[in-house]
Structure 1
Amino acid sequence: MKKLAVVLTIVGVCASLAAVGETARRRLENPALGMIRHVVLFKFKDGTSEADVKKITDAFAKLPDQIPEIADFEWGTDNSPEGLAQGFTHCFLVTFKDAKARDAYLPHPAHKAFVDILKPHLDKVLVVDYVATR
């Protein structure tokens, strides 16, 4: 009976190690797995000028140089033919190595200064964070 318990324990440990190894292998193949994606969509107030929008997008695009926790950054404007954007015109994708990096970004002085630039022109914002998986 003891031998069976030892064998079952070894099998369980091996299965756990195999699962951990598979996760590690997938992360080596795609290092972005497990990273936090911070998706931000803006709908600007009516009357917001193109110059103000440019000031906002430029300020957001400078954050990766000011906040080392940002692993990657990209943005674009809506071009979907579906017409379901509900007035949201600008989408930003900010990537963080982990939740700790994201949590350091939110109260960062550069992020707060950006929010101060944005707020007077913002009608609505939608934010979704997720962990990259396959």
Structure 2
Amino acid sequence: MLPRGLKSIILLVVLLLISLGVYLSPLRVHVPYDLLPSVAMGPITHLVLFQFKEDASSSAVRDATARMLQLKDNCVHPTSGTPYIVSAKGGKDNSPEGLQGGITHAFVVEFSSASDRDYYVKEDPVHMAFVKSIEGLVTKAVVVDFADGIY
């Protein structure tokens, strides 16, 4: 039988260790991206980079870029019937670094969740029609998505 004072000290130490473990666990646990539930990721940033064909007319490029930005208002959620793209911006490359690799235009599109992004990429008929409409104008497209703070 342990003395009463020693029991209290042991209990206090155990509780402190448990508390410390709970406090530090988010700093130590690495969960691979593909195992994270989409709601845990939070907002998704969707980067789209285009290299328009050299022979594409400036009016065709302007039209395509305007339509790309209009997707924010034209793409509607399948259940709510309301636009679901949080924000969209983009423009023509103007970097002095010379590291574009042929990319001429960049766009940043934000979704509130991975499921919204997934619908946009895989199913949204407005987005799918846009992608099809620029096939003859674009030489190269690069798309990178990320959730801020998940490495």
Paired residues of 2:42 and 2:114 also in contact (CA < 8 A): no
Per the normalisation by structure 2, the TM-score is 0.69
Q: Equivalent residue for 2:59?
A: 51
The superposition leaves residues 99-126 of structure 1 with CA deviations (integer Å, 9 ceiling, x where unpaired) of: 1111111120010011111111110011
Say yes or no: does 1:12 pair with 2:27: no
The match for 2:114 is 99
1:61 to 51, 61, 69: 69
What do the CA deviations read for 1:39-92 (whole angstroms, capped 9, x no partner)? 111001121001110110111111011222211100011111111112211000
| Structure 1 gap segments, 5+ residues each | 20-32
Match of 1:120 in 2: 136
Scaled by the length of structure 1, the TM-score of the pair is 0.77
- The answer to whether residue 89 in structure 2 is matched with residue 74 in structure 1 is yes
**Whole-Å Cα distance in 1 between the matches of residues 100 and 19 of structure 2?**
53
Shift of residue 127, structure 1, vs aligned partner: 0.8
Any stretches of 5+ residues in structure 2 without a counterpart?
1-6, 28-40, 76-82
2:45/2:147 contact within 8 Å kept: yes
SS at match of 2:95: coil
Matched length? 120
Report the AA paired with residue 82 of structure 1: E
Q: CA RMSD in A?
A: 2.5
One-letter amino acid of the counterpart of residue 45, structure 1: K
Quote the offset at 1:17 in angstroms.
9.5
In the other structure, the counterpart of 2:47 is: 39
Which structure has more helix as a fraction of its residues?
1
Residue aligning to 2:31: none
